[in-house]
Amino acid sequence: MTLDCVIQAFADGATPEEICQDFPPLSLAQVYSVLAFYLAHKEELDRYLKEQEQVAAALDQDLRARYAPFLAELRQRLLARQASPKPPA
């Protein structure tokens, strides 16, 4: 789990206790520490998180473009398999 996950959960309205339940490896003290750090450096971290979002979006777009032909072929094969009659059991 990453800093991003904890901060996103907090931004979505989760309480520290709920975050702790959603991320069992973290203790409540660790969640409070992360949130305290975030609130003390909010501007910097918001900028960092926005940059990370942009990097992830660019990577997603690149991967979709790169593997589009393969995924289209895979979909066609799956549809063909689903449409073919099943042999008796």
Instruction: Let me know: does 4 contact 49? Beta carbons within 8 Å.
Output: yes
CB atoms within 10 A of CB 37: 14
What integer pLDDT is reported at residue 15 of this predicted model? 98
At residue 84, φ and ψ (nearest 5 deg) are -75, 145
d(CA 20, CA 9): 10
What integer pLDDT is reported at residue 88 of this predicted model? 74
| 23 pLDDT more than 90 | yes
- Of residues 7 and 1, the one with the higher pLDDT is 7
Q: If you compute the radius of gyration of the chain from its CA atoms, what whole number of angstroms results?
A: 21
Instruction: Give 40-89 pLDDT, tens digit per residue.
Output: 999 999 999 999 999 999 999 999 999 999 999 999 999 999 998 877 76
What integer pLDDT is reported at residue 79 of this predicted model? 93
| 1 pLDDT more than 90 | no
